[in-house]
Amino acid sequence: MSINNRRRFLETAVMAGGLGISLEKLVKAKEDTGNSNKDTAVIQVWLGGGPSQFETFDPKPDAPIEIRGPYGTIPTLHSGIRFCETMPRTSQVVDRAAIIRSIAHGENGHFVAAHWLSTGYRGMNNQASHPSAGSLTSRFLGPRQPGMPPYVLLSEQQTRNPNIGEVMGAGHLGTGHGGFTVFQDPFETRYRQDLLTQATSNLKLADDVTIDRVGDRRSLLSALDTLSRSVDNSRSMAGVDRFSHVALDMVSSGKAREAFDLTREPQHIRDLYGEHRWGQSGLLARRLVEAGVSFVTINTAPDSLCWDWHLNIVNDNRPDDGSMGPSRGMDLSGPPLDQMISALVMDIYNRGLDKKVLLLVWGEFGRTPRINKTGGRDHWGPLMSILLAGGGLKVGQVLGTSNSRGETPVDRPIHPNDVLATVYRHLGIEAQWHTTTREGRPIAVLPGGEAIRELL
């Protein structure tokens, strides 16, 4: 048994003594705490700020204008199921996706809700207290192929709300299980109307990292500008050492550099995803999971609260003074999101990755049923809509129904922890597995929730 497996076994054994777990279950826990034999991965598209259910997957065309909002609706491949008109491409691939219109948790605070969906635990005091799903995947599974990082986070280099980024982090697991962060530089034209035409040529590893420079750890860490330089709260160097080994494997094997090289894709595939940052991030995520990364999160910046539409949903023209995020409504956010999601769904299935790769598209909550006096929608935890595809799931269905005003579920309410339980089931991670805090306290991977039976 390896040192890591032995440590995981001991952590499980400690919990077993206090919970009365039988020897048979304990032995099984020992066997399960090693790397899963399942060749699976997850791509999470994070819509930070809270996307509107009305302007995406659950419009209400028959409701009054102050409820249904400024956009029309379009039919989908499902008879009687309509999407917002801003999602035309996605509406034509729903036979390969599952839409859930009845996610509910009731929390209206950005950080608390985002922490809950990312970790399975409610956030408190604007401080990340638990590891994210990506970091737990790193901890229990590692990468599927040598020379690749286990968890990659694609994000903009500068975000106005770092707490949202923290909830995607490693918590008490330490820096070594944080996401290998690939930054997109905040280009000067990020708030212009022609944002959709901007290409992303810098989604790659640092060009000056060569095999000659990997011998010295400090040189390597300074050269790999996509690596986290932070040391965990315990001031232990273990996390940095682990990053050093990951970086060494990545540079020496060349697999990661090849995976990050988007020029290897034919032009028609790049066009499928779109020559904008979200689209090329989606393409990069697909390449990474194919190459052996276990978990990829795409943070749909240019701002960590990109979908926080308190003002005009059509085009938020507030001054860009840094106080409330970018001037960007659904007319700008919708087309690139629609193109990225539809391309990912098509590509995953066309390449035969639909059993291996689970695609999850969601944010921390939905938006209020009534348009506010400034033409926007506010925070709404009682209802949200999400999309899943691949993962060997039973797709081509819409789960749950909301009431006529888009306020609450009227049938099959589903909790975010049920979604996470479905994700972990796909990855081969057991919800009862535990990590240990710096104080030595065991914490379950997931405190509750059941995999969504209709999708299995």
Dist. CA 316–CA 293, nearest whole Å: 36
pLDDT tens, residue order, the chain (456 aa): 444 443 443 333 333 333 333 333 333 333 345 456 789 999 999 999 999 999 999 999 999 999 999 999 999 999 899 999 999 999 999 999 999 999 999 999 998 999 999 999 987 777 778 999 999 999 999 999 988 889 999 887 555 455 556 788 899 998 889 888 876 643 333 333 333 233 233 333 334 444 344 344 444 445 444 444 444 444 444 555 565 566 666 656 677 778 888 888 999 999 999 988 899 899 999 999 999 999 999 998 655 567 888 988 886 554 444 344 444 678 878 999 999 999 999 999 999 999 999 999 999 999 999 999 999 999 999 999 999 999 999 999 999 999 999 999 999 999 999 999 999 999 999 999 999 998 999 999 999 999 999 999
CA dist list (Å): 132 to 18, 228, 419: 25, 16, 14
In this prediction, residue 30 carries a pLDDT of 34
Phi, psi angles (nearest 5°) of residue 211: -60, -25
Output the pLDDT for position 189: 32
Q: Looking at residue 128, what is its pLDDT?
A: 76
328 closest CA partner among 162, 163, 160: 160
For residue 358, what is the enclosing H or E element?
Answer: strand 357-362
CATH architecture for segment(s) 40-200+255-428: 3-Layer(aba) Sandwich (3.40)
Residue (of 229, 217, 224, 280) closest to 250 by Cα position? 224
The answer to whether the beta carbons of residues 154 and 297 sit under 8 Å apart is yes
| Chain position carrying tokens 């990474």 | 288
46, 168 contact by CB (below 8 A): yes
355 and 365 Cβ atoms separated by less than 8 Å: no
pLDDT at 257: 75
Amino acid at 452: I
Query: What is the residue extent of each domain of the chain?
Result: 40-200+255-428
**What is the model's pLDDT at position 241?**
58
- Interhelix angle 23-32/3-19, rounded to 10 degrees, is 150
pLDDT of residue 331: 80
